Amino acid sequence: MTEVIDSKRREFLGATALIVSGAIIGVRAMTTTEAAAADYKQNPFTLVYDGAITKNEPGRVNIHPVTYKLNNLDIVANVYTPAGYDPSKKYPTIVLAHPNGGVKEQTTGLYAQRLAEKGFITITADAAYQGGSGGAPRSIDKPQHRIEDIHGMADFISNFPGVDTARLGLFGICGGGGYSLSAAKTDKRFKAIATLSMFNSGRVRRDGFKDSQMETIQKRLQQASAARAQEAAGGEVLYAGDANLTDAQIDALPFDLYRQGYHYYWRTHAHPGSTFKYTMSSLMDLMRWDATDEIGLIDVPLLMIAGSDADTFYMTEDALSKATGTKDKELFKIEGAKHIETYWVPEYVDAALGKLAPFFDRTLV
């Protein structure tokens, strides 16, 4: 696994990420006794979460790798069907959007599988320009693309056998949570929305983590603009947040979000398709966008879940307070959990699912 980790140019953290991109994610450093490394090579579907499907068996939850076109790009996705799935019947269905830099084989795969165990059809796809999906240059990370990814998943899954399009829900994790809020403002196919550890990518890229970089906004916009000009002239594509840290440097990072995020993505749940590197020019789009813009357009049930000890919790609180278009909204705190811990720690995953399944059962009727 070491060679996989070392080959991915750990752009996600470190001083460069803090200065150039405004911050991403992490949490308290995990040890091998807390989470054994999950080798994607040991799973035929390259899934890296505990309890992942290793083969499709009749009568049980099955996984269906699929590919479809979105704006002329090949998108790769996994569809999970519940035990006893009968394509002639109709099932409530949930679209899942992955975290920034993540892929479908990580936490969204875990939640997709667990929700399928509750009787839902689920789908999670790699974002365009990222993971196994098409698009060049690689690792473009623009809000309009991530939002379109969600619309595209809804397009595809709506034509999948057994899907009840009148009972379609949306669930986003971390950055995928922020993009899910944005997609749901206008995509009225979604009858209910849930987020976990929501991360407002635009706010953080613009203002810095915990609004710590507001004094450098114009400087970073100049860097992003220059990067776009260089690309347009046929020059090298520049990337934000490139770093290669030792364990000691990880432990010295200032926020739980960074520390645990590094361990999750590059140690315990590493996948070769997952990288937090994104084109510097993407910041032109990210920094003018905010997940809470026009959030009052959401008029369906909204559930926002976050760890009580997450240093990203302020983003969930802010978004929920601004979501004035729905009266059916709830904040659920997972006591003791930090941001990344909601991705994989069994007791916290169980707590999240303990709210998610009843929420979607109630609202997707």
Q: Mean pLDDT per segment of 10 residues, for the chain of length 365 residues?
A: 33 31 32 61 96 97 98 98 98 98 97 98 98 97 98 98 98 98 98 98 96 96 98 96 74 88 90 92 98 98 98 98 98 98 98 98 98
Total domain count, the chain: 1
pTM strictly above 0.85:
yes
Give the rounded distance of the alpha carbon of 341 from its chain centre. Answer: 14
- Start-to-end Cα distance in the chain: 44
pLDDT in tens, 58-90: 999 999 999 999 999 999 999 999 999 999 999
Structure confidence by residue, pLDDT tens digits, 152-164: 999 999 999 999 9
Domain CATH for 327: 3.40.50.1820
Q: Which domain holds residue 41?
A: 2-363
How are beta strands 278-279 and 239-240 bridged, if at all?
A: antiparallel
- 110 to each of 14, 159, 286, 344, 364, how far by Cα in Å? 28, 23, 27, 8, 21
- Rounded to whole angstroms, how far apart are CA atoms 244 and 249? 9
